[in-house]
Amino acid sequence: MNPNLENLHTYPFAKLAKLKTKVSPAPDKSPIFLSLGEPKHPIPAFITDSIVTHVGELAKYPTIKGIPELRVSIAAWLCNRFRLPSIQIDIEKNVLPVMGTREALFSIAQCTIDPAYKPLVIMPNPFYQIYEGAAFLAGAEPYYVDCPPENDYQPDFNAIPENVWSRCQLLYLCSPGNPTGAVVETKTLKKLIHLADRYDFIIASDECYSEIYLNEETPPSGLLEAAYSLGNEKFRRCIVFNSLSKRSNAPGLRSGFVAGDSELIERYYQYRTYHGCAMPIPFQYASVAAWNDEPHVLANRNAYREKFSAVIDILRGVLDFKVPTASFFLWPQTPIEDEKFALELFATENVTVLPGSYLSREQKGVNPGQNHVRIALVEPLKDCVEAAHRIKRFVQS
C-alpha cells in the first residue's frame, strides 16, 4: 500500500457522523442539515432536458478534451466573467473539462509535484480537505497558512518565510473561501503571481464559489484576471478550477473545468489520458447549455441573498460572525467549544452543523477553526429560517 495513506486524516463528514452517534436528536423536531455544502435549489430544467435529448450519446466513449462546443462555452464564459479578451483563451490550449473540480484539485498535485525535492504544498487553514490529501499522496508536505478573524479570515501570506517559498511547488487558493466566505483581493493575487515567478511554483486557484456573492456590483475577481492585468497574458504558473455544482445547482452532474497556463494544461492533459476521468457526452451537452446561460445564475444568487438576509437578521447579536463577501457559508464563532456546540445543537434542536476544528489543523497550539462552526445555507429558505431560530434558542438557553 502507498505509505502516504497513513498521513490522511479522517474526513470531516465521517468524523461528524461518528460524533452524532453519541446522542439522539429531539424526536419532536424535524432534522435540518446545514453541514454539507450541497446545493438544494432546483436544477434548471434545460440541463436535465439536454441530458435526455443527448442520452443516445452514452453509446460513445467520451474524449478527455471533451466536445469542442463545451470548450467554446467555457472559454466564452471565462472571458466574459473575468474581463479577458476573447483571444486569450484558446480552446485547444487553455481549457480542459473535468469530472467535477474535486477530482481535478486532487489530481493536479499528482501531476505536478516532484517528490524528490522535499516539496511543500501551501494551503489556507482552515481548508477544503482535498488539498491536504492531494499533497500527502503526491509525496509532499502540506504547509498551512492560518486564516484568523483578525486578518478578516484571509491567509496571512506575509507570515510565510523565504525558506518555505523556496520549497513550494504548489499553492492552493480558495477564493471565495470554503469555509470562511472570504475573497482574496486582486492585489494579493498579483503578489502571489510575482512570488510564483520568483520561486517557480504553481498557483491552483479553486474558484468554485465565484458565482455566489452578495453584492451584484462587485463579483469576486479571479486568478486569470489578475494575471492578465499584470501582463501575464499566457497565465504562466496559473491554473483555475470552476464547476457547475454551485453555480447551476448541479453537483451530481460532476461537471467542471481547469483553465490557464497552456504548458500546464498540455502536461495535465497527458496525465489525464491515463487518469481516465472523461465526462459523459450527454453531461457535456448539458454543461454547454449551463455555461451559456446567466439568468438562472442570477436567480440562484438572489435566492442565497434572501436566505443570508433572513438568517443574519435572526442570528445577529446571538453569534459573533463576519458577514461573508461570497459563498453560501456562515462561519460564526461559538460561545463554547465547537465540537460540543455542534453535538448539543444536534441533540436539542436536530440541526446539524460542521465543527470548524474538523476543517483545520493545529499549529503551535492554535487551531484557527476551533470555536467556529460552518453553516451551509443550502436548504430551502423556510428551513434556513427555522434552523436560525433553533440556533438562537439553543445559544440563548
DSSP per-residue string spanning 238-284: EEEEEEHHHHSS-GGG--EEEEE-HHHHHHHHHHHHHH-----HHHH
- CA torsion sign for 54, 290, 238, 36 is negative
Position 76 pLDDT exceeds 90: yes
Band (pLDDT 50/70/90 cuts) for residue 119 is very high
H/E stretch holding 339: helix 338-349
Residues 242-271 pLDDT 10s: 999 999 999 999 999 999 999 999 999 999
CA distance to 26, 204, 262, 329, per residue, from 36 (Å): 21, 23, 34, 10
Are 98 and 257 in contact by the 8 Å Cβ rule? The answer is: yes
pLDDT of residue 277: 85
What is the percent of the chain with per-residue pLDDT over 70, rounded to a whole number?
100
> What 3-state DSSP class applies to 133?
helix
CATH of domain 59-293: 3.40.640.10
Q: What architecture is domain 3-42+296-396?
A: Alpha-Beta Complex (3.90)
Q: Which residues belong to CATH 3.40.640.10 in the chain?
A: 59-293
Question: 27 Cβ partners below 8 Å, 6+ apart?
Answer: none
Name residue 96's beta-bridge partners.
Answer: 258
Band (pLDDT 50/70/90 cuts) for residue 317 is very high
Residues 360-376 pLDDT 10s: 999 989 999 999 999 99
Question: 233 Cβ partners below 8 Å, 6+ apart?
Answer: 88, 227
Joined together, the cell numbers standing for residue 144 give: 498551512
Cis peptide before 179 (omega within 30 of 0): yes
DSSP assignment letter at 356:
G
Residues 200-238 pLDDT 10s: 999 999 999 999 999 999 999 999 999 999 999 999 999
Are 7 and 136 in contact by the 8 Å Cβ rule? The answer is: yes
Residues 154-204 pLDDT 10s: 999 999 999 999 999 999 999 999 999 999 999 999 999 999 999 999 999
Position 275 pLDDT exceeds 90: no
Band (pLDDT 50/70/90 cuts) for residue 345 is very high
Are 170 and 202 in contact by the 8 Å Cβ rule? The answer is: yes
Average pLDDT over residues 348-355: 98
> What 3-state DSSP class applies to 33?
strand
pTM attached to this predicted model: 0.96
What is the percent of the chain with per-residue pLDDT over 90, rounded to a whole number?
96
For residues 98 and 65, what is the distance between their CA atoms, to the nearest angstrom?
9
Comparing 27 with 220, the larger pLDDT belongs to 220
**Number of C-beta neighbours around residue 397 at 10 A:** 8
pLDDT of residue 323: 93
Band (pLDDT 50/70/90 cuts) for residue 276 is confident
Please name which of 280, 325, 281, 304 lies closest in space to residue 380, comparing C-alpha atoms. Answer: 304
| 320: amino acid identity, one letter | D
Q: Where are the alpha helices (DSSP H) in 82-149?
A: 101-112, 129-137
Q: Which residues belong to CATH 3.90.1150.10 in the chain?
A: 3-42+296-396
Average pLDDT over residues 11-33: 95
pLDDT of residue 26: 86
Rounded mean pLDDT of the chain? 96
Joined together, the cell numbers standing for residue 368 give: 484557527
Residues 123-159 pLDDT 10s: 999 999 999 999 999 999 999 999 999 999 999 999 9
